[in-house]
Amino acid sequence: MVLTADLDKNKKIFYLKDLLVYLSAIAIVLALFCAFVIFPKTSKSFTGFNLSVNNDIALSVSFDGQVNVSSEYVNLIDYVKDGDSIILTVHSNVHLDGYNKIVIDLKNKTALVSESNCSNSKDCVYTPKISNTGAIYCAPHALKISAIGSASEFVPPTVG
């Protein structure tokens, strides 16, 4: 059965049964807000940012200026302290020429990716800056930047 027979009737913009549908859409949105905004995971203390490559922590920066680099990535990461922020350049061990430049602001406690040559769409550069929730993920370089304490418990399936 095809609805083309109903093309003759003018379908109205508002029917009474619409209210059911709108209510269920609003209920879904409210449930999502409750689950993620009103009752969030309590972050006890927000001490710094973790940078992980392929889900192993490669680098951690704490807000008193300390930078700890794990031993396998020492020659792939350079960092420069520039006033109130730390600028990291992370070279990728997945692509030979790939790099991501990350700016961590110690006073405002935010992190963002300022430039990268990962792909055409550069999703990591366009992701807005994060503080204690959210993460910046660069998929071609397998890079993840997130706050310490908001660890994800999933082990991701290998794709591709």
Partner 1 sequence: MNNALTKKITLCAVLSTLGALAFMLESLFPPLFLPGARMGISNVFILLCALVVGKKYAYISLVVKILIGSLFSGNLSSIMYSLPSGLISLTVEILLLYLIKNVSLLSVSVLGSVINVSVQNTVFCLVTGATEYLSFLPYLALISVFSGLIVGLTVHFSLKIFPKKYSAN
Per CB under 8 A, does 33 bind partner 1? yes
Binding to partner 1 by CB under 8 A, coded x per residue (else -) over 45-84, reads ----------x-----------------------------
Judge contact between 127 and 111, C-beta under 8 A: no
Per CB under 8 A, does 43 bind partner 1? no
88-104 b/e with 16+ CB inside 10 Å = b?
A: bebbbeeeeebbbebbb
Return the CA Rg of the chain: 22
CA distances from 22 to 16, 30, 34 (A): 11, 12, 18
* Residue whose CB is less far from partner 1, 36 or 114: 36
Which member of 70, 127, 129, 131 binds partner 1 (CB under 8 A)?
127
Per CB under 8 A, does 3 bind partner 1? yes
d(CA 5, CA 70): 68
Shortest distance, CB of residue 102 to partner 1, whole angstroms? 16
Strand order in the sheet with 67-69: 67-69, 56-62, 48-53, 143-147, 135-138
Which member of 7, 42, 64, 80 binds partner 1 (CB under 8 A)?
7
The DSSP symbol for 10 reads: P
Per CB under 8 A, does 40 bind partner 1? yes
Shortest distance, CB of residue 136 to partner 1, whole angstroms? 9
Q: Which residues in this chain contact partner 1 in the complex, by CB under 8 A?
A: 1-5, 7, 10-18, 20-22, 24-25, 28-29, 32-33, 36-37, 40, 55, 120-121, 123, 126-128, 130, 133-135, 137, 139, 144, 146, 150, 152-157, 159-160
